[in-house]
């Protein structure tokens, strides 16, 4: 087991190794990188993060297909699409996320931009020691329209115990401004409040390194990992996601 100072140095080196331009093309973050309008970036980030589980190549392919269905102008589509245009989304699917889920997402995002000031405002309004309450608040507003129960599984709630990996990943993309990979377009949230996205790969790597003792990948494990990563870098703890991801997925650590 590495000493704490050695462990921090090791994570810093691995973060530098993977937090670079070569990371973008093969990763789902390549999709929001295609856009320049703030709303297009954040909407594509949310939609892409929502389907980000499984093989990265398959995720990127489906995400590009999804953007094409939205005319490669997601914000314009959300605000202006007719019912017929939304109905034509019915044949989209990625694993368990299907056309009916996507149609609800479009209508709910329209509601958020029309009646709630947009995504950033929703997430920025409930900051505490972390962004768990912000995510939960966003989810509550997101599902305030009539919806199928099945669609709720695609937006998780850390206050109900979920690790909320995909939403934490989206927040890393939109809040961290490393001028390399992460886009940093949201200025109302401090990077210091970000949590490292926790999934099977990053969780197993964190346990092998002695960063995490809890066996389940849940909200309590995210909080446990937060404590040590914020000790290593109080201003930018989520940067270590690159190290844990690279070690787990690319190096099979």
Residues of the chain with pLDDT under 70: 1-2
Question: What was the pLDDT predicted at 193?
Answer: 97
Question: What was the pLDDT predicted at 179?
Answer: 87
Tokens of 176: 């961290």
What CA–CA distances, in Å, run from 151 to 19, 24, 104, 114, 249? Answer: 33, 29, 8, 21, 28
Degrees (nearest 5) of the Cα angle 66, 105, 80?
Answer: 80
100 Cα distance to chain centroid = 21
- How do residues 159-184 score in pLDDT, each as one tens digit? 999 999 999 999 999 999 998 999 99
Contact 166, 49 (CB under 8 A): yes
Question: What was the pLDDT predicted at 127?
Answer: 80
Contact 158, 193 (CB under 8 A): no
Kind and range of the H or E element at 93?
Answer: strand 93-94
- Backbone dihedral region of 15: left (phi > 0), alpha (psi from -120 to 50 degrees) or beta? alpha
CA distance 23 to 173: 13
Question: What was the pLDDT predicted at 1?
Answer: 60
Structural domain of 115: 4-250
CA distance 86 to 90: 8
Residue in 129, 102, 115, 91 with CA at minimum distance from that of residue 46: 102
Q: How many domains does the chain have?
A: 1
- How do residues 197-242 score in pLDDT, each as one tens digit? 999 999 999 999 999 999 999 999 999 999 999 999 999 999 999 9
Question: What was the pLDDT predicted at 206?
Answer: 97
What CA–CA distances, in Å, run from 136 to 127, 143, 163, 168? Answer: 11, 11, 12, 12
CA distance 148 to 151: 6
What CA–CA distances, in Å, run from 17 to 165, 175, 242? Answer: 22, 21, 8
What CA–CA distances, in Å, run from 176 to 35, 170, 180, 241? Answer: 17, 10, 10, 12
Contact 26, 57 (CB under 8 A): yes
């Amino acid at each position: 087991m590495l000493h704490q100072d050695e462990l921090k140095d090791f994570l810093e080196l691995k973060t530098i190794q993977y937090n670079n331009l070569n990371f973008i093309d093969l990763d789902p973050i390549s999709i929001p990188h295609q856009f320049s309008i703030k709303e297009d970036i954040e909407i594509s980030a949310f939609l892409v993060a929502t389907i980000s589980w499984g093989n990265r190549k398959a995720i990127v392919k489906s995400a590009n297909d999804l953007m094409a269905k939205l005319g490669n102008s997601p914000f314009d589509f959300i605000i202006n699409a007719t019912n017929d245009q939304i109905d034509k989304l019915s044949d989209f699917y990625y694993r368990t996320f299907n056309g009916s889920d996507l149609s609800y997402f479009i209508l709910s995002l329209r509601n958020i931009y029309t009646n709630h000031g947009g995504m950033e405002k929703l997430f920025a309004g409930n900051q505490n020691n972390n962004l768990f309450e912000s995510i939960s608040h966003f989810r509550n507003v997101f599902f305030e329209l009539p919806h199928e129960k099945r669609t709720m599984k695609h937006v998780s709630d850390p206050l109900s115990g979920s690790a909320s990996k995909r939403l934490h990943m989206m927040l890393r993309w939109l809040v961290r401004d490393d001028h390399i990979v992460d886009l940093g377009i949201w200025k109302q949230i401090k990077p210091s409040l970000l949590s490292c996205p926790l999934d099977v790969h990053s969780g197993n790597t964190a346990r092998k390194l002695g960063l995490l003792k809890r066996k389940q990948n849940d909200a309590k494990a995210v909080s446990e990992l937060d404590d040590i990563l914020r000790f290593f870098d109080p201003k930018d703890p989520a940067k270590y996601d690159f190290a844990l991801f690279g070690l787990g997925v690319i190096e099979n650590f």
